[in-house]
Amino acid sequence: MGLGVYFDNYIFVLLFMFLGVALPVGALTFGRLVRPNNPYPTKLTTYESGIEPTGDAQVRYHVAYYIVALEFVIFDVETVFLYPWAVALGELGWVGLNAGLIFIAILGLGLAYSWKKKVLEWN
């Protein structure tokens, strides 16, 4: 098997990339061709759940958002690990149980830490 064959496998990737670009572009172009075009100022304003936009798009979020988001991600990902672990626990045996418990314990320490540092309080 030479280098040519190796690169041949990338044809699917290229095809995927091509389709990924072509489909939305094609659909939007098609829509533009067939739909009526009648713009007026109210129609051109930004639409968000029926509420009129106020202020600038570039606002600074409170830093607490990020920390809460981080906490969320950590425990979100934890679930990803814990589901398969819980399902396969019977096969994993004691070693598996211990490994999982250590994992949970470390996360628990992290939670205690953020609790102590008042990350969970919203001021």
Which residues of the chain form contacts with another protein (CB under 8 A)?
A: 1-3, 6, 93, 95, 106, 109, 112-113, 116-117
Tokens of 68: 């809460």
Q: What type of residue sits at position 46?
A: T
Q: How far is the CB of 42 from another protein (least distance, A)?
A: 42
Q: How far is the CB of 109 from another protein (least distance, A)?
A: 6
35 vs 118 by CB, closer to another protein: 118
DSSP 9: T
Could you give phi then psi for residue 24, rounded to 5 degrees?
A: -60, -40
11 vs 57 by CB, closer to another protein: 11
Q: How far is the CB of 3 from another protein (least distance, A)?
A: 6
Asked if 96 and 82 touch (Cβ cutoff 8 Å), the reply is: no
HSE value, Cβ hemisphere, 13 Å, CA-based, for 36: 3
1 vs 57 by CB, closer to another protein: 1
2 vs 31 by CB, closer to another protein: 2
Q: How far is the CB of 105 from another protein (least distance, A)?
A: 9
Nearest to 84 by CA among 103, 70, 111: 103
